[in-house]
Amino acid sequence: MKRITIYDVAKEADVSLATVSRVINDSNVVREDTRMRVQQAIEKLGYKPNAIAQGLALSKTTTISIVMSEKLFAYNAKILNGLMDVAKIYNYNIMFHTTSKGISKMQDVIESIIKSRVDGVILFNDNFSEDEMEVLHEYQIPMVVVGSKLKGQKIGNVGNVYINFERMAYEFVNECFEKGIDDISMVEDKLNLSMMEQLKAGVDRAYAEKGLVFNKYVTYDDSYKSSYTFLSDYYKRNKPSRMVITFRDSQAIALMNACKESGYSIPDDTQLVCILNSKYLTMMRPMISTYNIPEYDLGAVAMRLLTKMLVDDESVKQNKDIEISFSKMFRETTK
Amino acid sequence: MKRITIYDVAKEADVSLATVSRVINDSNVVREDTRMRVQQAIEKLGYKPNAIAQGLALSKTTTISIVMSEKLFAYNAKILNGLMDVAKIYNYNIMFHTTSKGISKMQDVIESIIKSRVDGVILFNDNFSEDEMEVLHEYQIPMVVVGSKLKGQKIGNVGNVYINFERMAYEFVNECFEKGIDDISMVEDKLNLSMMEQLKAGVDRAYAEKGLVFNKYVTYDDSYKSSYTFLSDYYKRNKPSRMVITFRDSQAIALMNACKESGYSIPDDTQLVCILNSKYLTMMRPMISTYNIPEYDLGAVAMRLLTKMLVDDESVKQNKDIEISFSKMFRETTK
DNA sequence: TTGTACGCGTTATCAA
DNA sequence: TTGATAACGCGTACAA
């Protein structure tokens, strides 16, 4: 089957290619009977417009790049659903890029983004530096960062849809204080350092306001293959804090198992809150307390913001920062 | 910053655009000093070749589409890692499409694939019909189906990288028979009907060879919000089989919880095997037995096959079907 | 309402 | 070793 072009359709319908183009793009200056003729020719030949040629002619690809850390695929699934659904609504294609330590450095990803001439970029706030954003900005590519709040001075052309993790942690710690709990520890998640940083800032602030110092930020090095091996080791030697905050479900579950195996009871000896929700938290016994973050909305709002920036940058000039609210979903590991 | 084109570079380096093109594409007929001059001009201007224009000129986009069901994103993370890594090695961009019931029907996805003029397509074997593959074939788009074995007569230009679930189930059931277990049930997973079908076929075959009939294929309708609600309901009224097969981790965990809460013990009253491995299986107590499917390899092999089909269809004409082996990882829910 | 001709940014062919 | 020029497939002023 030969590649059908707009010329073939034009010949078949006995019109010029301009008319075919008008039909494709719903221009309303086409007479009804010629439109019909063209439509029939399109059907008959199975013609599909060449998006590449359209992109070249219009300097617009109707394509948006999404950049995500390879390791966070599974965890960002719902955000991605939100992104994809909205992109679909606005008829944008999605170019998908992943970053990892070995093969695909952020620099290479940026290179291919620029070459692809995508209309915009969605960045997950866990895997890029300010320099890299600066490069995209030099090439005038609008972007939206999703996840946590950007720090540093704002670069133009950048939107930000985020959860206020600093406030989340601050409020949570204060609630703990009110219940008389001030022995709190927080387990680091190496996959999401920017969010950890903000959480820690919130905890620090709450402690500082009480004239205390937070010093139970639990980190472990890569010699431990997983947080589980570390934690089960740790809780054999250390008594758990009365309240532990983890970021990710696997850490919460690891901690739960480690505590149980070391003879500690949850929530009686130690309470547990996992920042990121997941269905696995409710599958555990006791069911693990968490925060409810509207992940789908995070993605949907981010993509909607980007599409707005694309069609009319003025209308969103003032409010490119959108904070998404969260709520508590405390279950059986807290009391 | 004005869009820099090959003309700007040519002017800056005082050569013709043809020479710039040669430098970009590593043609070795360029004299060294002019190459240097051009390189410097490229650096100075920050020129990046326009992939769209290249695509138009070459009728080749170096882009591959990946089509995946929206709901399976989290579960296919490792396969996707394999796909992405290999794509990166061969310098292919990835166009990412998701299918779901509401917004993005497979038909629309195919439409945009054809319009995008991607060089090839990776399909996950869970969300398309033979008709849809036929359409892609009409437009001569090479594709590789990853996951389970394709049934039906083979369409040209289609590769298949798969796990032989039929054999997996067949062998497993025979091992059960050898241990004297013939009371087996299998829980349906609605997200992956094609794989379920093959598993069931394997079970059926093993039963048939014993002159028995398999009749414990557990299905539940959508009125149950999750397999957990169904199973915990079910096991209050029914005694569990001595061996239960589930497909997905959440089903296995749900079953485990349901059994425990109904007073049954695993693995003493009922044993449990989950076909798809995940880290959550080892976080449960007892740790759940599973099969070890090299998911990353599934993706990597599939993408490698597709790239080979793209550069030289002849060399892979004979063997476009690649079976990936699996192994048992039986843990504490079997004995 | 329709058609002509040029531009979009690159590669490839052919000539110099 | 380089340069001029015709594709690649489409959108769009401008003319008819």
Please, which residues have CB within 8 angstroms of residue B242's CB and are 6 or more apart in sequence? Answer: B181, B183, B184, B269, B270, B271
Tokens of B269: 């009253």
Query: Which residues of chain B make contact with A49, given a CB cutoff of 8 A?
Result: 115
For residue range A69-119, what is the model confidence (pLDDT) as tens digits? 999 989 999 999 999 999 999 999 999 999 987 666 899 999 999 999 999
Residue A315 has pLDDT above 80, yes or no: no
Query: Can you list the domains of chain A with their CATH numbers?
Result: 6-53 (1.10.260.40), 63-164+295-326 (3.40.50.2300), 165-292 (3.40.50.2300)
* Residues of chain B positioned with their CB less than 8 A from the CB of A97: 94
Mean pLDDT, rounded, for B108-123: 96
Concatenated DSSP letters of A299-327: HHHHHHHHHHHHH-GGGGSS--EEEEP-E
The confidence band for B224, taking pLDDT boundaries of 50, 70 and 90, is: low
CA of A18 to C1' of C4 (A): 9
> What is the dihedral angle through the alpha carbons of A275, A277, A278, A280, rounded to the nearest 10 degrees?
60
Coil, strand or helix: which one is A17? helix
Q: Which residue is nearest to nucleotide D13 (CA to C1')?
A: A18
B80 closest CB neighbour out of A51, A73, A81: A73
Q: Which nucleotides of D are covered by protein (CB under 7 A)?
A: 1-5, 7-13
With contact defined as beta carbons under 8 Å apart, do A333 and A273 qualify? yes
The share of chain B scoring above pLDDT 70, in percent, equals 97
Amino acid identity, position A13: A
pLDDT at residue number A99: 92
Is the Cβ–Cβ distance between B254 and B311 less than 8 Å? no
Nearest residue, CA→C1' of C7 = A57
pLDDT of residue A167: 98
pLDDT range class, residue A1, cuts 50, 70, 90: low
A100: chain B residues, CB-CB within 8 Å:
85
Question: How high does pLDDT run on average in chain A?
Answer: 92
Q: Whole-prediction pTM value?
A: 0.95
**A206 CA: distance to closest CA in chain B (Å):** 33
> What confidence tens digit (pLDDT) does each residue in B147-192 have?
999 987 778 889 999 999 999 999 999 999 999 999 999 999 988 8
pLDDT tens, A28-39?
789 999 999 999
Provide, in whole angstroms, the distance separating residue B53's CA from nucleotide C8's C1': 8
Task: State the Cα–Cα distance between residues B13 and B42, nearest whole angstrom.
Answer: 9
**How far, in Å, CA of A101 to CA of A106, rounded?**
9
User: What would the mean pLDDT of A197-201 be, rounded to a whole number?
Assistant: 97
